Amino acid sequence: MDYFIELLFSGLTRGSIYALIALGYTMVYGIIGLINFAHGEIYMIGAFTSFVVATVLSIYGFPLLAIIVLAGVCAAIWSSAYGYTIEKMAYKPLRHAPRLSPLISAIGMSIFLQNYVLLAQTSDFLPFPELIPDFAFMEPYAHIVGSSDLMILVTTAVVMVALTILIKFTRIGKAMRATAQDRTMAMLVGINVDRIISATFIIGSSLAAIGGLLIASHIGQINFYIGFLAGIKAFTAAVLGGIGSIPGAVIGSLILGLTESFATGYISSDYEDVFAFSLLVLILIFKPSGILGKAETKKV
């Protein structure tokens, strides 16, 4: 039974990280219908920014709590700034272009950002400071679930709730939903669509940055390439849950994380990704628009 619980937690941790990244994918997709391939890179930049900030602060002797807060805030600010700039430079000019052009622009942006960080910082792996301390009350359970796992789960849950409130009840959330439903109509009722799109990128990017900070401090290392695989996985999760749907992204991520964890635990980690992708294909065969995606009905 212990083994099962261990795998369950490991899957939930993985799923939570995927969820933080997948939300950015799904929000951007919901609003402008673009697969933002550079989103994984935003997550990486978030992790790097928090690394730089946290290390500088710890060198100057700040207390741990201040470091965590400042690193998180800075990561979110700079990641959002990158997300905002990327949207303005690489996607906005392509808003009326054929559907695949922004996709290629996104792939180019992703290659660009990876190499930018490689050149600006280093190609080496860097040790990420352990920001999440081992909580004393967790010690009896440390062999099953670590403090950082718990921290990731709690943070993700809090972020989800906050995001749901934002989308459901605030003015900007309503405007976002309106834009997602029908951009032209939203414009007609006086919503500044450009601003809403920017806001979406900013929110999505800051979530990714938080994800970057958490996972980097969980596994203790970063380099410029971490965004790629995480991005692909999160994208898979977003589609699995039904791209464009926010609860869908979370559910898809958790399912993906758990599948990988249990496949590794009970079968073999050699094929963990094969299981993940097979599950995706299987679900999409029976539910072609993902678990919570709305089936597209078209009137003729």
Q: Please, where are the H alpha helices in the chain?
A: 2-32, 39-59, 64-86, 101-120, 147-169, 171-181, 183-188, 193-219, 226-241, 246-262, 272-286
> What's the token pair of residue 77?
């600010």
What is the nearest approach in angstroms of another protein to the Cβ of residue 157? 18
What is the nearest approach in angstroms of another protein to the Cβ of residue 23? 16
What is the nearest approach in angstroms of another protein to the Cβ of residue 280? 5
Nearer to another protein, 145 or 191 (CB): 145
> What's the token pair of residue 216?
């980097």
What is the nearest approach in angstroms of another protein to the Cβ of residue 69? 16
Residues 6+ apart with CB under 8 A from 162: none
Nearer to another protein, 191 or 264 (CB): 264
What is 214-280 written as a DSSP string? HHHHHH-EE-TTHHHHHHHHHHHHHHHH-TT-HHHHHHHHHHHHHHHHHIIIII-GGGHHHHHHHHH
**Alpha carbons 11 and 126: distance in angstroms, whole number:** 25
14: alpha, beta or left? (left if phi > 0; alpha if psi -120 to 50): alpha
| Residue 179 and residue 32 in contact, taking contact as beta carbons nearer than 8 Å | no
Nearer to another protein, 74 or 186 (CB): 74
> What's the token pair of residue 56?
């500088």
What is the nearest approach in angstroms of another protein to the Cβ of residue 130? 8
What is the nearest approach in angstroms of another protein to the Cβ of residue 296? 7
Nearer to another protein, 117 or 191 (CB): 117
Nearer to another protein, 33 or 174 (CB): 33
Nearer to another protein, 165 or 274 (CB): 274
